[in-house]
């Protein structure tokens, strides 16, 4: 019995130590867990801050703002900026430095503009109190809400010598010829500057007249400049302004065009000379060429005739298959005749109704010849036969190597009726041209001013009538 | 014989009783000592942990605030009125206010040396500040005078160091000409 009590006491002692140990263990575990939890919490919070900071820096680094266009409207900047980055961006500030001002001009303006990715923001600067001048250069710094900045340089032509070029076509022009001049201005800056307000001034023209000449050199603006102005030029961009001048003068006269732009840097200009060349349109030269070969040439293979009459059925439309070539014709048939001719001069020739096809019979046995005049007629169409040439000078042979088809057959000037050849035998055929040059160069005959005459005969066709 | 046996047994029992009391007492003492020592260790450990935790917490706050503190130099303008002043505009783009405690500007020449030839001359300035910039706000600080437009060879750039109270240090070179 007493032995049992001792055993129970030992058991009771073992229980207390276990409890105490357990309590300590629990306390240690709690403290340990607390430490671990705190550590993890700190780490987590720090991780969040680091992540947030990284995100902000990454986003800031991906912001890209580009200046695409610069203009000045109503004395205020009209800028177009584009968000080329992947995130929406908010512009909050713009710093402007007038780099032309020697005393220092530096201001800032508050912005509040959001640009979505890929979108552009036009008219930036129109709402600011900043007065922009086309003859001043500016440095712009745009600040975004994330803290990135985009810097742009806007230069006035006044502050930099721009690369200029000019091309004329042709470089050598006949009197009263048109010369096209292409005046190019390139942004040759390498610092990314944008050039603002490119507006060409009226070209300065100087003349060098050949001694002994009779016509003073002159240049008259026909067209241009096209375009009138260019708002801005990006880096490496070039703009061409087109001018068309009508030049006149004696051969070897020189006309020098000097181009520049408004607010250009002193000495920043370019010149191009055009020389007046001797051409067929000058009367003396025309005479010389006419003597040798004439301005008008004929396509002999195009010489055709068509058996038609002044009435129905209509058989000699312009596209009719009844037109025939060769040299065998019937002496008793009324024909329409046609041939293609080319004007190798530089001005149109309006044809007088005296223009005609002249056939001369070769008489056997030395007797006299019989001549037949077949006068110019108005053109056939795809639905009509040649008609009377009642509107004198309405038909022209276009200049510069162009060709046209002439129709003949009229029994008289401005006559609708055709006539037979009426005799049998060999016939040399000549075409006699009478007309006036298109002095006004407007492709329309103007009585009184288009009064420079021209005439020519082209032989070498032949017909045998049976 | 039986009596002798009983006497022996009684003597053994009495010896066992004396031995049990000692064990109990010693056990109690041991238990108490362990409990007291354990408690002391536990309290010390807990206290130490708390101190460490506070320290870590402070460090964390300091570091995370340092990380959150962000500003940019939005603009630098070399002023001629007043002469030889460098106007530095800072923008706080972080989400906590910051305090700029100093700005150091040194004009350096093309060789990277002090433009005036001596660090203590007019080409160096260390401006102590207490310029608080709130969140998303800007502040322009004029630093001068510093001879950025004289000297031979002329100053080519400004070496600018901006320090905040939390220890953020921003270093940059700004080209003068």
DSSP assignment of chain B equals -HHHHHHHHHHHHHHHHHHHHHHHHHHHHHHHHHHHHHHHHHHHHHHHHHHHHHHHHHHHHHHHHHHH--EEEEEEEEEETTEEEEEEEEEE-SSS-EEEEEEEEEEE-TTSSBTTSSTTSTTEEEEEEEEEE-TT-EEEEEEE----S-TTTTP-EEEEEEEETT--EEEEEEE--
Answer yes or no: is pLDDT of B91 > 90.
yes
CA distances from A132 to A72, A104, A112, A128, B161 (A): 7, 15, 20, 10, 34
| Rounded Cα distance, A360 and A462, in Å | 10
> Domain check: are B92 and B162 in the same one?
yes
Output the six-digit token pair for B61.
Answer: 């706050």
At residue A253, the 3 state secondary structure works out as coil
d(CA A308, CA A334) in angstroms, rounded, equals 6
| Residue A376 to residue A357: CA distance in whole angstroms | 7
Confidence of residue A352 (pLDDT cuts 50, 70, 90): very high
Question: Residues B136, B118: one domain?
Answer: yes
Q: Check residue A271 and give its pLDDT.
A: 93
Of A60, A196, A86, A69, give the one whose Cα is nearest residue A121: A69
User: pLDDT at position A365, please?
Assistant: 61
Give me A31's structure tokens: 């403290």
- Whether the predicted pLDDT of A54 surpasses 50: yes
Buried b / exposed e along B28-44 (16+ C-beta atoms within 10 A): eeeeeeeeeebeeebee
Which tokens is B165 given?
A: 């109270």
Residues B170 and B116 in one domain: yes
Query: Is A187 within 8 Å of A233 (Cβ atoms)?
Result: yes
Do B86 and B153 belong to one domain?
yes
Q: Cβ separation of A145 and B93 shorter than 8 Å?
A: yes
Beginning with the edge strand found earlier in the chain, give each strand of the sheet holding A204-208 in spatial order. A172-173, A270-276, A254-259, A204-208
The rounded percent of chain B whose pLDDT value lies above 70 is 83
| Cβ <8 Å between A93 and B60 | no
Q: Is A237 helix (H, G, I), strand (E, B) or coil?
A: coil
For B38, the token pair is: 């354990």
Q: Which of B118, B114, B140 is nearest to B129 (CA)?
A: B140
Residues B52 and B100 in one domain: no
Chains A & B: contacts with CB separation below 8 Å: 73
Q: How far is B47 from chain A (nearest CA, A)?
A: 10
pLDDT given for residue A207 in this prediction: 93
> Helix count (H) and strand count (E) of chain A?
2, 28
**Distance between CA A357 and CA A373 in Å, rounded?**
6
Report the residue of chain A nearest B58, measured CA to CA: A42
Does B80 contact A24 at a Cβ distance shorter than 8 Å? no
Model pLDDT, residue A70: 87
Query: How does residue B100 score in pLDDT terms, banded at 50, 70 and 90?
Result: very high
Mean pLDDT of chain A: 86
Q: Does A149 touch chain B (CB under 8 A)?
A: yes
Let me know whether B91 and B61 are in one domain: no
Q: Average pLDDT, stretch A324-353?
A: 87
Rg, Å, chain B Cα set = 38
Q: What is the pLDDT of residue A144?
A: 93
Cβ of residue A28 closer than 8 Å to a chain B Cβ: yes
Q: Among A8-12, A76-80, A190-194, A235-239, which stretch is predicted with the lowest mean pLDDT?
A: A8-12
Same domain, B64 and B87: no
**Domains of chain A with CATH codes:** 65-155 (2.60.40.10), 163-276 (2.60.40.10), 283-465 (2.70.50)
Q: Is A145 on the interface with B (CB under 8 A)?
A: yes
Among B10, B36, B42, the strongest candidate for a mutation testing the A interface, having the largest count of A CBs within 10 A, is B42
pLDDT > 70? residue B3? no
Of A2, A39, A147, the CB nearest to B72: A147
Closest-CA distance of chain B to residue A91, Å:
13
Residue B58 touches partner A, C-beta closer than 8 Å: no
Whether B49 and B121 map to the same domain: the answer is no
**Least CB–CB distance from A24: residue in B38, B60, B63:** B38
Retrieve residue A54's tokens: 């990284």
Q: CA A173, CA A44: separation in Å to the nearest integer?
A: 84
Please report residues of B whose CB lies closer than 8 A to that of A141. Answer: 74-75
Distance, in Å, from the CA atom of B74 to the CA atom of A158, rounded to the nearest integer, reads 29
Range with the poorest average pLDDT among A88-97, A102-111, A135-144:
A102-111
**Cross-chain CB nearest to A17 (options B13, B31, B64):** B31
Cβ of residue A13 closer than 8 Å to a chain B Cβ:
yes
Domain check: are B78 and B161 in the same one?
yes
Mean pLDDT of A381-386: 89
Distances (CA, A) of A58 to A107, A145, B27, B63: 30, 14, 67, 20
CB atoms within 10 A of CB B111: 9
Q: Quick one: which of A293, A254, A295, A252 has its CA closest to A274?
A: A254
What is the pairing mode between strands A402-410 and A371-378?
A: antiparallel
What is the C-alpha radius of gyration for chain A, rounded to an integer number of angstroms? 46
How many structural domains compose chain B? 2
Q: For residue A313, what pLDDT is reported?
A: 81
Calculate the alpha carbon distances from A179 to A185, A219, A222, B119 in Å: 19, 9, 9, 68
Please report the pLDDT score of residue A389 as a whole number: 93
Residue A1, pLDDT score:
47
B79 touches A at CB < 8 Å: yes
Percent helix, percent strand, percent coil in chain A, to nearest 5: 15, 45, 40
Helix (H) or strand (E) holding A61: helix A2-62
Spell out which residues of chain A touch residue B57, defining contact as CB-CB under 8 Å.
Answer: 42
- Other CB atoms within a 10 A radius of the CB of residue A291 amount to 8
Q: Is the pLDDT at A243 greater than 90, yes or no?
A: yes
Cis? peptide before A404, omega within 30° of 0: no
Same domain for B130 and B90 = yes
- The number of C-alpha atoms within 13 Å of A117 and in the hemisphere containing its C-beta is 6
Of A463 and A131, the structure prediction assigns the larger pLDDT to A131
Last residue of a domain, one of B68, B83, B107: B68
For chain B, give the mean pLDDT: 82
Report how far Cα A250 is from the mean position of its chain's Cα atoms. 32
B138, B174, B142: which is closest to B156 by C-alpha? Answer: B174
Percent of residues, chain A, with pLDDT higher than 90: 35
Residue A105 confidence class, pLDDT cut points 50, 70, 90:
confident
Interface check B57 vs A, CB under 8 A: yes
pLDDT tens by residue, A258-311: 999 999 999 999 999 999 987 655 555 555 555 566 788 888 778 889 987 766
Torsion angle (degrees, nearest 10) of CA A452, A457, A458, A460: 180
Domain identity same for B41 and B60: yes
Q: What is the pLDDT of residue A255?
A: 94
* Domain end among B68, B85, B120: B68
Least confident stretch, A170-184, A309-323, B30-44? A309-323
pLDDT at B111 over 80: no
Cβ of A2 within 8 Å of Cβ of B13? The answer is: yes
Residue A25 pLDDT greater than 70, yes or no: yes
Q: Tokens in use for A397?
A: 């042979």
Q: What is the pLDDT of residue B151?
A: 64
The CATH number covering residue B101 comes to 2.60.40.10
Q: A407 with A306: CB under 8 angstroms?
A: no
Q: What is the pLDDT of residue B11?
A: 55
3-state secondary structure of A283: helix
Beta bridge partners of B140: B89
Residue-level pLDDT at B4: 57
Of A62-76, A351-365, B67-81, the one with minimum mean pLDDT is A351-365
**A155-178 pLDDT, tens digit each:** 999 999 999 999 998 888 888 888
Q: How far apart are CA A144 and CA A61, in angstroms?
A: 11
Smallest CA–CA distance from A30 into chain B, residue:
B46
Q: Is the pTM of this model over 0.80?
A: no
Q: Which pair of structure tokens corresponds to residue A396?
A: 């022209």
Portion of chain B with pLDDT greater than 90, in percent: 26
Judged by a CB distance cut-off of 8 A, whether residue B137 touches chain A is no
Residue A29 CB contacts under 8 Å (≥ 6 apart), including other chains = none
Q: Using CA atoms, how far apart are residues A420 and A335, in angstroms rounded to an integer?
A: 7
Give strand pairing partners of B92.
B71
| Cα Dmax for chain B | 129
Structure confidence at residue B114 (pLDDT): 74
**A437 vs A13, more confident:** A437
Structural domain boundaries enclosing B132: 71-175
Where is the domain boundary, B68, B87, B114?
Answer: B68
Distance from C-alpha of B78 to C-alpha of B101, rounded to nearest angstrom: 21
User: Cα torsion for A317, A322, A325, A326, to the nearest 10°?
Assistant: -150
Q: Measured in whole angstroms, how far is the alpha carbon of residue A131 from the centre of its chain? A: 34
B81 and B113 co-located in one domain: yes
Please tell me which of A222-231, B17-26, B139-148 the model is most confident about, judged by mean pLDDT: A222-231
Taking an 8 Å cut-off on Cβ atoms, the answer to whether A53 and B70 are in contact is: yes
Mean pLDDT, range B147-170, rounded to an integer:
83
Give the one of B16, B56, B70 whose C-beta lies nearest to A42's C-beta: B56
How far is it, in rounded angstroms, from Cα A236 to Cα A238? 7
């Amino acid at each position: 019995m007493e032995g049992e009590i001792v055993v129970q006491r030992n058991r009771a002692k073992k229980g207390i130590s276990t409890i105490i140990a357990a309590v300590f263990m629990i306390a240690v575990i709690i403290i340990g867990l607390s430490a671990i939890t705190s550590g993890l919490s700190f780490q987590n919070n720090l991780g969040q801050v680091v992540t947030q900071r990284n995100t902000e820096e990454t986003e800031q680094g991906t912001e890209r703002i580009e200046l695409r266009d610069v203009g000045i409207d109503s004395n205020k900047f009209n800028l177009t900026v584009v968000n080329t980055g992947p995130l929406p961006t908010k512009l909050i500030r713009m710093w402007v430095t007038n780099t032309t001002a020697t005393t220092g001009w530096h201001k800032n303006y508050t912005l509040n503009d959001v640009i979505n990715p890929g979108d552009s923001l036009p008219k930036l600067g129109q709402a600011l109190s900043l007065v922009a001048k086309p003859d001043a250069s500016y440095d712009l710094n745009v600040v975004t809400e994330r803290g990135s900045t985009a810097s742009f340089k806007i230069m006035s032509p006044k502050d930099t010598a721009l690369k200029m070029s000019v091309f004329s076509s042709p470089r050598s022009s006949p009197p009263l010829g048109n010369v096209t001049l292409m005046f190019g201005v390139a942004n040759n800056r390498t610092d990314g500057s944008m050039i603002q307000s490119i507006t060409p001034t009226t070209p300065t023209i100087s003349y060098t007249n050949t001694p002994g000449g009779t016509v003073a050199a002159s240049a008259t603006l026909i067209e241009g400049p096209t375009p009138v102005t260019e708002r801005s030029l990006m880096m490496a961009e070039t703009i061409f302004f087109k001018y068309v001048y009508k030049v006149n003068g004696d051969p070897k006269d020189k006309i020098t065009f000097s181009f520049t732009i408004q607010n250009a840097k002193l000495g920043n200009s370019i010149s191009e000379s055009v020389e007046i060349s001797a051409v067929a349109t000058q009367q003396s030269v025309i005479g010389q060429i006419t003597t040798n070969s004439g301005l008008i040439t004929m396509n002999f293979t195009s010489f055709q005739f068509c058996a038609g009459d002044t009435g129905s059925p209509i058989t000699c439309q312009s596209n009719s298959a009844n037109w025939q070539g060769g040299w065998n014709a019937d002496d008793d048939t009324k024909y329409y005749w046609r041939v293609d001719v080319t004007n190798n001069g530089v001005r149109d020739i309006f044809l007088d109704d005296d223009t005609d096809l002249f056939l001369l019979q070769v008489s056997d046995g030395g007797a006299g010849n019989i001549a037949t005049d077949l006068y110019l007629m108005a053109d056939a169409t795809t639905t009509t036969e040649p008609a009377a040439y009642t509107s004198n000078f309405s038909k022209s042979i276009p200049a510069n190597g162009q060709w046209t088809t002439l129709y003949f057959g009229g029994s008289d000037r401005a006559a609708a009726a055709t006539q037979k050849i009426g005799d049998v035998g060999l016939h040399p055929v000549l075409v006699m041209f009478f007309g006036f040059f298109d002095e006004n160069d407007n492709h329309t005959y103007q009585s009184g001013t288009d009064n420079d005459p021209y005439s020519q005969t082209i032989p070498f066709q032949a017909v045998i009538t049976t | 014989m039986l009596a002798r046996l009983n006497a022996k047994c009684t003597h053994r029992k009495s010896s066992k009783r004396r031995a049990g009391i000692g064990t109990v007492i010693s056990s109690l003492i041991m238990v108490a000592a362990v409990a007291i020592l354990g408690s002391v260790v536990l309290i010390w450990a807990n206290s130490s942990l708390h101190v460490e935790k506070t320290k870590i917490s402070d460090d964390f706050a300091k570091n995370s605030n340092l990380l959150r503190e962000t500003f940019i130099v939005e603009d630098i303008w070399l002023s001629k009125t007043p002469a030889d002043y460098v106007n530095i505009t800072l923008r706080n783009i972080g989400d906590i206010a910051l305090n700029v405690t100093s700005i150091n500007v040194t004009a350096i020449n093309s060789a990277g040396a002090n433009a005036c030839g001596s660090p203590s001359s007019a080409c160096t300035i260390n401006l102590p500040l207490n310029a608080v910039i709130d969140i998303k706000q800007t502040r322009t600080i004029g630093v001068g005078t510093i001879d950025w437009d004289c000297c031979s060879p002329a100053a080519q750039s400004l070496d600018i160091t901006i320090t905040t109270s939390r220890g953020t240090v921003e270093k940059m070179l700004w080209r003068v000409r």
